[in-house]
Amino acid sequence: MSVRSTNRRETGIDAIRHESHDPGLYVHVPFCRVRCTYCDFHVASLSPPVTRKYTQVLIQEIESIARKGFQPRTIFIGGGTPSALDHQSWSDLLQALGSHFGEGLSEWTVETNPESIDEKKLEVALQIGVDRISTGAQTFDEKGLSLLGRQHDASRVIEVHQMMQRLGVPRTSLDLIVGWPGQDHQSVMADLAAVEQIDPDHISLYHLSYEKGTWLDKMRSRGDIDPLQDEQCIDLARQFLSGLTDQGYQRYEVSNLHKRGGASLHNLNYWQRGTYLGIGSGAASFHEGKRWKNLANVTSYIESEGSPRRVDEENPDRITAAVETIMLQLRLVSGLDLAEMRTSTGFSLDQICESSLRRFEQRGLLLHEEDRIRITDLGFEILDSIILSLVEDLEGSSDEKRFDSSNGSVDGTAHPSSSGLDRG
């Protein structure tokens, strides 16, 4: 049985290039029944009394930013595990978001895990206005699920997507991981077969990373697991991407593909360096030219009564803006607009990185087309190395080469109108 959803919205590469999706609103729900073995996110143990208090403070923060006139175009509720909330907290949170921000939204996504989402929660979400559900599957291999610390089996993912089809969820997304220890071509084939059966609108395919302090990293350090080599991971990723392409998925970002319903607009806003507010413990914000995070402490957040303590506050300067532009926009298949970067930051990347760009182009890793740089499929396999080389060129360049005189900078100081830090 093929599981399909309806009411798709198409989003092509041209729309990705030109349409703005800011500001976004990210809502962090940090609670998990069990921490996955690869996870280094800010999460906390699931405790109903704590989650209820936390939800009420989230609603206070929602009301606070609404009073200040903030109106998002996209909402993304992530975690943690938002679907692990009890039914009342789930309903209260969604009702608060819908009542304050329901008008004018382009997209509203909620992350779920298969073991904690149910029909009642989905019905509430749909009634209030959620139009996109992202499900964390990671793999359909039972050994892989156990190794990754997942709390569901493969059949539950299929059941959940059948339930979403029955309820008419407008847009669905599925998270998968490639490169876990023991994964082989046969398990990738099984994952592809499950994807074909479920037929989600969108796929996020992430390479496993061994983040410091995680269970997987500790097991690797002790020699208790045998990580795949880089070449093996690349080979499995190629198989995955080829199979997804055969199923009709279109890659629009290094780790993301869509078939129907278009790209994730909320995440596109991040990659286009748009503005967003993050609410909840540990949530990050980039708004009115400033970056900050809420202190990552659930107890402190609950005590804040909706006015959380900010940490890591900064006002990104031009070079930071340029570095972020390189790191974010080169993730997109549509690439980096050089003219836009010159206007927003004052940096002429094609001049500063001329030698590196020529070298990467000769190796088939990128395409330099007029005023746009695009990474090829081959280049995406070593994207981090390409970005590092370009950032090193940028940071090591002289003031004379950094700035394009057409932007009005004469002494290494670009005019505020072209700084790119006041959008939003």
- What CA–CA distance (Å, rounded) separates 30 from 32? 7
Question: What integer pLDDT is reported at residue 8 of this predicted model?
Answer: 37
Q: What percent of the chain shows pLDDT beyond 90?
A: 77
pLDDT at 174: 97
Supply the pLDDT for residue 33: 86
pLDDT at 31: 92
d(CA 267, CA 251): 14
Q: pTM of the predicted model, to two decimals?
A: 0.88
d(CA 244, CA 242): 5
Q: Choose among 268, 273, 123, 274: nearest CA to 204.
A: 268
d(CA 320, CA 377): 27
Interval 118-155: pLDDT, tens? 999 999 999 999 999 999 999 999 998 998 888 889 99
Residue 413 confidence (pLDDT): 25
CA–CA gap between residue 207 and residue 278 (Å, rounded)? 25
* CA-to-CA dists, residue 305 to 43, 54, 66, 354, 413, angstroms: 20, 9, 15, 52, 41
Q: Which of 115-119, 236-240, 403-407 has the lowest mean pLDDT?
A: 403-407
Q: Is 102 exposed, middle or buried (0-12, 13-18, 19+ CB in 10 A)?
A: middle
Joined together, the tokens standing for residue 185 give: 């071509």
Domains of the chain by start residue, with CATH: 13-271 (3.80.30.20), 319-411 (1.10.10)
**pLDDT tens per residue, range 23-63:** 999 999 999 888 888 888 888 888 899 999 999 999 999 99
Q: Does the pLDDT at position 406 exceed 60?
A: no
Mean pLDDT confidence for 403-424: 27
pLDDT above 50: residue 424: no
User: Average of pLDDT values for 166-190?
Assistant: 96
Angle in degrees, CA 292, 383, 257, rounded to 5: 85
pLDDT band at 89 (very low <50, low <70, confident <90, very high): very high
What's the CA gap between 310 and 97, in Å, rounded? 22
Average per-residue pLDDT for the chain: 88
| pLDDT, tens digit (0-9, with 9 covering 90-100), for 213-242 | 899 999 999 999 999 999 999 999 999 999
pLDDT grade, residue 18 (50/70/90)? low
* Average pLDDT, integer, range 346-371: 94
